[in-house]
């Protein structure tokens, strides 16, 4: 059962999501224009209602002894999904499991290993539970941000670009939703390259379309609504972003 929240709750959730560790009740009170005791009471109510379920640390495992973080896309039956999600969480190295409401790929398992052999061991432990691994990828970086609609109402509209704080040539991986009327929409990657819409140093490394993950080739057509991952070691400019968004 859902818990009804109001504008004050939304703002509290926004600032906690943005940086719970360094945000106090008086800090939030000053932003939301209520008293600090009110903020504390609201947080307690949100915790009791199960809206706030924890305050986890975001750990960069690569910097911690060069550990590898892997995501396994797995499938199991809908009737066994919840039970197996709990069981796979007990596999040494698994740190997060998500249940997805879909027929296939309905379990997303994040695991940390010391090396590729350790990740192979984790994969074997997962399949030993009767879970099918459909796909797996090493996680390069993760980016988080609070839900913008809960934030201050005077902020600029949310950008369709995710996975990067700024675009001034310092980003090397960006995920973009292709918008209607964008220059690249309806063109193959080869055509977009020939027309210099996509610079030679920019690679489209993945396209997610509906429930399908596509490893693109020159003949792959970019379609409206595609979730495109692009990569460039020299940085991704706003012009490149506009090729996919049209903004």
Domain residue ranges of the chain, discontinuous segments joined by +: 7-48, 68-138, 159-245
Residue of 42, 53, 30, 55 lying closest to 4 (CA atoms):
42
- Tell if the pTM clears 0.75, that is, is over it: no
Specify the CATH number of the domain 68-138.
Answer: 3.30.70.100
d(CA 79, CA 24): 42
**Predicted confidence (pLDDT) at residue 164 exceeds the cutoff of 70:** no
Task: Please state which CATH class domain 159-245 belongs to.
Answer: alpha beta
Q: Are strands 107-113 and 94-99 parallel, antiparallel or unpaired?
A: antiparallel
CATH architecture for segment(s) 7-48: Orthogonal Bundle (1.10)
Where residue 156 falls among pLDDT bands split at 50, 70, 90? low
* Helix, strand, coil distribution of the chain in percent, nearest 5: 30, 20, 50
- 7-48 and 159-245, same CATH topology: no
Q: In the chain, what percentage of residues exceed pLDDT 70?
A: 91
pLDDT (average), residues 111-139: 94
């Amino acid at each position: 059962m859902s818990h009804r929240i109001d504008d004050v709750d939304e703002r509290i959730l926004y600032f906690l999501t943005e940086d719970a560790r360094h945000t106090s009740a008086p800090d939030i009170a000053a932003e939301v224009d209520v008293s600090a005791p009110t903020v504390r009471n609201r947080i307690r109510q949100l915790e009791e209602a199960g809206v706030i379920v924890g305050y986890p640390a975001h750990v960069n495992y690569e910097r911690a002894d060069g550990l590898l973080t892997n995501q396994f896309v797995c499938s199991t039956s809908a009737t066994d999904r919840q039970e197996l999600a709990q069981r796979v969480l007990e596999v040494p190295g698994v740190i997060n499991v998500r249940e997805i409401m879909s027929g296939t790929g309905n379990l997303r398992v994040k695991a940390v290993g010391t090396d590729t052999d350790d990740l192979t061991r984790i994969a074997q432990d997962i399949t030993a539970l009767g879970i099918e691994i459909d796909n797996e990828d090493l996680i390069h970086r993760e980016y988080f941000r609070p839900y913008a609609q809960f934030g201050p109402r005077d902020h600029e509209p949310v950008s369709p670009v995710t996975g990067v704080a700024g675009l001034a040539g310092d980003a090397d991986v960006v995920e973009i939703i292709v918008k209607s009327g964008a220059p690249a929409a309806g063109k193959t990657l080869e055509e977009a390259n020939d027309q210099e819409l996509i610079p030679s140093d920019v690679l489209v490394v993945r396209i997610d379309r509906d429930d399908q993950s596509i490893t693109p080739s020159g003949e792959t057509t970019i379609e409206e609504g595609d979730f495109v991952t692009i990569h460039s070691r020299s940085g991704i400019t706003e012009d490149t972003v506009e090729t996919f968004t049209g903004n």
